Structure 1
């Protein structure tokens, strides 16, 4: 028992040093992410990449830049689906879109866009609601591989039945098959869905505001941050939103304990959609 505890303590030290090295060498800051989640993902990376210890993994990371994207692949969560939580997208469609129609032009930020599932969901929704042409979408992530996947817009065909069901349950006004073509076990989404999209590397932890948005959707990202990073990201969203702009968070995320909570009001509480206060 004592030996197990000692090993755990050593591993915690190694992980903290590895994260410090990652920040000092490459300027990716995971030092205040939730430790349990980081440790679980790094253990998976250590074992699958064939390293005996986190220290050995750190040494490789410091001396071999090719190791960076592989480590980021473990540290950043790339699990999503199109129209995930359909009631969220139905709420956007039925409650938020009527407000957005009053703007002559719109900016929408999908923060932590992963492989692009949420981005394409919103672009399709905006096309169906007649807002796509006046909207500029920003899709950001810290993982360059994820951004490349998002920009490619290619997904395994076995994921499509779930995407289709979610789209229908979200209030979709067309068939999802109108937006992609299938071949060789994959589906490729129409290039026109990307014509108003800017893909960019952006960190919620270290980077600044870059535009004024009317809608920010950042779901299931903050749960991996500790409280200080959550507040940092929420402050960034607050400063990025126009007055009366909208913020969508994940089902397990909340503004409740944030120092920025006063800048928002509940818009649709059950879907974690908030509105920036006007003053």
Structure 2
């Protein structure tokens, strides 16, 4: 199949997904989407995207499986520990000045960042007055996030990250290990609302003091990046904080004027308007 034919079929497929399932991948970065769809073709034994499209349109049980290929579920607890250390040292002292807090983890995947923030906020005495909104477009990922169960062989890496992020306790205080898995304490998600939300099609739903959306924008094209950043700008209160991934920036965004760099090296910004 030629690249031109593949791209034509890819355009038709994402249109079909939007019209049939109301998931909008039309603004996703083409190179990344192309890689993921090629992987899906191999997994589902399809020789063309048209075959994938046929399954999307005519096999209702197929789309959830394909969605796992279209959304990137790669995360870990306290990923990039310097980011969480900067939150702890630079942002938390200002968050303490609010009587109550709302935090939005956009694109939460299977929940590792949600639990990281919940643990950090508990260690800093802020979790009980915080409401965390954890959103993603993948319902299966949200189910995993809400369950808070992770393979035990990942915990050593999580523990090291927690220590490097300035952890004030042992990570083992927050989970129970059994049958090769770690189950995180239900009390960590008592103040968490898990919900589906699309940065491509949905709107702002509450005023936040902190929005953390890390390693999501890199999969969007420029117009969709601007849309998402516009949502974060509109959601944040004045002087609220936005955290992005290590390879993401506001530099060329149409929303850049609304923010100042707060911790530049960790991509933490503060809303200035």
TM range (shorter): over 0.9
- Unmatched 5+ stretches in structure 2: none
Give the unaligned 5+ runs of structure 1: 1-5
Shift of residue 9, structure 1, vs aligned partner = 1.1
Structure-2 residue corresponding to 1:190: 185
| Cα distance in 1, alignment partners of residues 70 and 15 from structure 2 | 14
Using the TM superposition, name which of 25-34 and 134-143 deviates more.
Answer: 25-34
In 2, Cα distance between equivalents of 1:184 and 1:206: 40
> 2:224 maps to what in 1?
229
Q: Which residue of 2 aligns with 1:54?
A: 49
1:151 aligns with one of 136, 143, 146: 146
How far off its partner does 1:67 sit? 1.2
Does the residue aligned with 2:32 lie in a helix, a strand or coil? helix
Tell me, what secondary structure is at the counterpart of 1:103?
A: coil
Whether 1:134 aligns to 2:134 is no
Per-residue Cα deviation, 1:79-110 (whole angstroms, up to 9, x for no partner): 00000000000000000000000000000000
Aligned pair count reads 273
Alignment TM-score, normalising by the size of structure 1: 0.97
User: What is the RMSD computed on CA atoms of the aligned residues?
Assistant: 0.7
Match of 1:122 in 2: 117
CA contact (8 A) 2:27 2:200 kept: no
**TM-score normalised over the length of structure 2:** 0.99
Corresponding residue of 1:92: 87
What's the offset of the Cα at 1:226?
A: 0.3
Tell me which residue corresponds to 2:78: 83
Deviation at 1:118, TM superposition (A): 0.3
Paired with 1:69 and 1:247, the residues of 2 have a C-alpha distance of 30
Supply the distance in 1 between the matched residues of 2:47 and 2:179 (Cα, whole angstroms): 38
Please give the secondary structure, in 1, of the residue aligned with 2:212.
strand
Q: Which residue of 1 aligns with 2:4?
A: 9
Map residues 65-80 of structure 1 onto 2, 5 A cutoff: 65-80=60-75
**Is the aligned partner of 1:177 residue 2:172?**
yes
In 1, the alpha carbon distance for the partners of 2:51 and 2:230 equals: 37
Q: CA deviation at 1:160?
A: 0.4
Alignment correspondent of 1:32 = 27
